[in-house]
Amino acid sequence: MIYFEKLFTKEECEKIISYAIDEKKEFSNLIDLEHSNQKILENNRMIGDNTSYSIYLIMNTKETEWIFDKILFWFSNKSGIKIHSDKFKLDKCMLLNYSVGDRFQKHLDISEGFEERRWNLGIQLNDDYKGGDYICYDKDENEIILPKDTGTAIAYHISIPHEIKKIEDGNRWSMVLSIPSTFINEKKSVI
């Protein structure tokens, strides 16, 4: 299941992007570089096979918690999945910036070292670029092109293949966070 809805205003999205510029922090613990073909370069650049983008962190602080609260509340209401925000707090999220020629190859977010991941949540922070389509794939490998509208929140299970197509003009900004299994009630089969 893929959920999306325009949730954030343009002004809120601009505020989120401004945190990226102020909050340049260590992010290697978010990406499994040992089991990945990606490399961290200077100036927050990630490079890999058919993958390139810049990455920043936003820490969950008093100043930024409104972002986390808003998207998690939306996700819980949209999906019907209860989030244990009373027990746990997501401490950070990633801001991704794709410039001309950048892309993120088709992949799954199921990887060694990140077995706890369950859902990806994101916010489309701008729409003034060309290319850069955010595509998910259904079980028959049909493309589902997600909206580019500024402020659109997106959520999908990590088992859904997805990619960002190559940027042809401009810069694409998005916020991404992962919901781990410890934050949600998962139905487990006894069979």
Q: Which of 10, 4, 18 is nearest to 125 (CA)?
A: 10
Cβ–Cβ under 8 Å, residues 8 and 70 = yes
Instruction: Dump pLDDT digits (tens) for 60-80.
Output: 999 999 999 999 999 999 999
Is residue 115 over pLDDT 90?
no
Cβ–Cβ under 8 Å, residues 49 and 37 = yes
* Position 111 confidence tier, pLDDT thresholds 50, 70, 90: low
Is residue 30 over pLDDT 70?
no
- The radius of gyration of the chain's CA atoms, rounded to the nearest angstrom, is 16
What is the predicted pLDDT for the residue at 138? Answer: 94
Is residue 119 over pLDDT 90?
yes
Which residues does residue 136 pair with via DSSP β-bridges, in sequence order? 144, 162
- Hunting for tokens 């069979």 — which residue is that? 191
What is the predicted pLDDT for the residue at 177? Answer: 92
* Position 32 confidence tier, pLDDT thresholds 50, 70, 90: very low
Cβ–Cβ under 8 Å, residues 43 and 54 = yes
Both tokens of 175, joined, read 């916020």
| Average pLDDT value over all residues in the chain | 85
Query: In the predicted model, what is the mean pLDDT of residues 3-12?
Result: 98
Higher pLDDT, 183 or 69: 69
What is the predicted pLDDT for the residue at 168? Answer: 98
| pTM recorded for the entire structure | 0.85
pLDDT above 90 covers a percentage of the chain that reads 58
Higher pLDDT, 144 or 184: 144
Query: In the predicted model, what is the mean pLDDT of residues 161-180?
Result: 95
What is the predicted pLDDT for the residue at 151? Answer: 98
